[in-house]
Structure 1
Amino acid sequence: MDLHRPPRRPHAWWLLLAASQLLVAAIWWRYGWRIGLPAMMLSHLPFWWGVLRPQSRMYGPVLSRLPIAEPRVWLTIDDGPSDDTAAILDLLDAHRAKATFFLVGERAAARPALVREIARRGHGIGNHSASHPSAWFWILGPWRMRREIEQCQKTLTELSGTAPRWFRAVVGHANPFVSAPLRDLGLARAAWNARGFDAVRYDVDGVVAMIERDLAPGGIVLLHEGARHGRNVEMIAALLRRLDARGYSTVLPEEVAPEPR
């Protein structure tokens, strides 16, 4: 199985929606509103689940873990570049670790030297939207969604010299309009299976303990930089020490051999 899987049928969810609502209409006609109304509300739940659960494949493929048995994990760092980026790069070098930085287009344009430095040091660069509209990314319409993804892709490609291959939805909430621009740009969506809520929590030990609780071979670890609490560098340093202590190394998805067919 190829890990990098851009959506192939970005509009397939329309068929599911149409089929479900035809079924609801039939139930409503046969049994009336007392049963039809609850049936309609229940029929919408899978589509909302597809938006709110980062690992859901309702709207296209999403990578939530790497298919490896060795103690290696994919470190992913969202929301940069920021004042933290240079220190994080030095930490990664000190631990001989690699990570993918999911960058925000507008922040990258404001700090182009950091984008180039991330690439120079051999780390991955992923698309994390142009402006990071965290409060309303999940309800963006098709035109705004496309603009967010395409503009970020353009900015990061120009600055790094290489087009990103991976996309992470803002807050992980990928609505139905994410898949079409991902297909057109050859982007695959990445989620995670280990996180410590380091964007909002400021307890370093607590954040690392939460991540460690879910740590397993092939894990995708969600990290952040530039949070208001100012402790992301400490958190990443502490996590890297725990990885070393437990015998874990890091890996980028491009370094994982495809599974045999």
Structure 2
Amino acid sequence: MPTAIVHRVPRRPHAWWGLLLLSQLLVAALWWGLGWAVGLPLMLASHAVFWWGVLKADSGLFSPVLVRLPVADKRLWLTIDDGPSEDTAAILDLLDAHGAKATFFVVGARAQARPEALRAIVRRGHGVGNHSHSHPQAWFWALGPARMRAQVAQAQAVLTEIGGVAPRWFRAVVGMANPFVSAPLREHGLARVAWSARGFDAIAAEPAAVVARVERDLAPGAIVLMHEGARHGRNVEALALLLQRLDALGYRTVLPEHLAPDLQPTPPVGAT
């Protein structure tokens, strides 16, 4: 297996400013020299690139993002977003029954409301990731630097205090990470994680349809996105069906921190 780094903390969180400035200077020069017929489309195209970086969950334009584990066999990373919730206890029992491990991307405020659920996740050998403090799904993508820093920092402090272990992974709300997320990720030694297989179970209620969508994108090293606590109330059913299907297909779950030594996380920022 080739050497690979899975835990990539942003090294230059403000580099995008230079890219933005250079692109707009180029557009202005071409507009001045060639007129609006050239300059206007180029301006729109340059802005579209930055919007793509925000709206596409696996875009690495503003910070490194992990989309797949570098393994060649039937191992995958199961991730569960939006907890803790009233589903957490049943999900933990399901995972134990299948000998599976998952990383729970947890919302800080929800962990404060259900601290014992977070402690149970850690106690039973699962991972905990940072998924913002209040999960502002309608406008996370539009947060300015101060509010973005607060969302990451508050969740990190709460999850560390309650769970006893500082998260090393971060998932943007709805996957949309704007340029201002990189600085707080670097500050807290967090690496951003997206996904490569999802069933849309946060909104889709039918477990069979959810699992069918996930299965279409299964491959060695897949990062599977699931949810808990959705309003339709069927996340546990969907996960149960998915775990049965993974067993039937011969897939095993793995946490990144349990991979081979050459795939271990990079040292925290500032470490010697």
The range that moved more, 92-101 or 34-43, is 34-43
Equivalent residue for 2:19? 16
Equivalent residue for 1:211? 214
Which runs of 5 or more structure 2 residues have no equivalent in the other structure? 265-272
TM superposition shift of 1:259: 5.2
Match of residue 196, structure 2, among 171, 182, 193: 193
2:170 is aligned with 1:167: yes
Equivalent residue for 1:176? 179
Spell out structure 1 runs of 4+ moving beyond 3 A.
none
Equivalent residue for 2:147? 144
Task: Summarize deviations over 1:197-241 as a string: whole Å, max 9, x none.
Answer: 000001110110000000001000000000000000000000000
Match of residue 121, structure 2, among 105, 118, 137: 118
Equivalent residue for 1:52? 55
Equivalent residue for 1:100? 103
Alpha-carbon distance in 1 for matches of 2:163, 2:207: 32
Alpha-carbon distance in 1 for matches of 2:207, 2:263: 36
Equivalent residue for 2:6? 3
Equivalent residue for 2:39? 36
Alpha-carbon distance in 1 for matches of 2:105, 2:63: 19
TM-score, normalising length: structure 1: 0.98
Which letter does structure 1 place at the counterpart of 2:21? A
Equivalent residue for 1:256? 259
Alpha-carbon distance in 2 for matches of 1:140, 1:250: 34
Alpha-carbon distance in 1 for matches of 2:259, 2:50: 32
Equivalent residue for 2:160? 157
Alpha-carbon distance in 2 for matches of 1:27, 1:200: 45
2:93 is aligned with 1:90: yes
The range that moved more, 24-33 or 120-129, is 24-33
Which runs of 5 or more structure 1 residues have no equivalent in the other structure? none
Alpha-carbon distance in 1 for matches of 2:222, 2:183: 27
Alpha-carbon distance in 2 for matches of 1:161, 1:60: 27
Task: Summarize deviations over 1:153-204 as a string: whole Å, max 9, x none.
Answer: 0000000111000000000000000000000000000000000100000111
Alpha-carbon distance in 1 for matches of 2:45, 2:221: 35
Equivalent residue for 2:267? none
Alpha-carbon distance in 2 for matches of 1:125, 1:87: 17
TM superposition shift of 1:34: 2.3
Alpha-carbon distance in 2 for matches of 1:209, 1:112: 33
Which letter does structure 1 place at the counterpart of 2:198? R
Which letter does structure 2 place at the counterpart of 1:11? H
Alpha-carbon distance in 1 for matches of 2:228, 2:245: 19
Alpha-carbon distance in 2 for matches of 1:39, 1:72: 43
Aligned Cα root-mean-square deviation (Å):
0.9
Which letter does structure 2 place at the counterpart of 1:162? V
2:225 is aligned with 1:227: no
Alpha-carbon distance in 1 for matches of 2:36, 2:200: 42
Alpha-carbon distance in 1 for matches of 2:263, 2:241: 32
TM superposition shift of 1:45: 1.2
The range that moved more, 33-42 or 104-113, is 33-42
- Percent identity at matched positions? 69
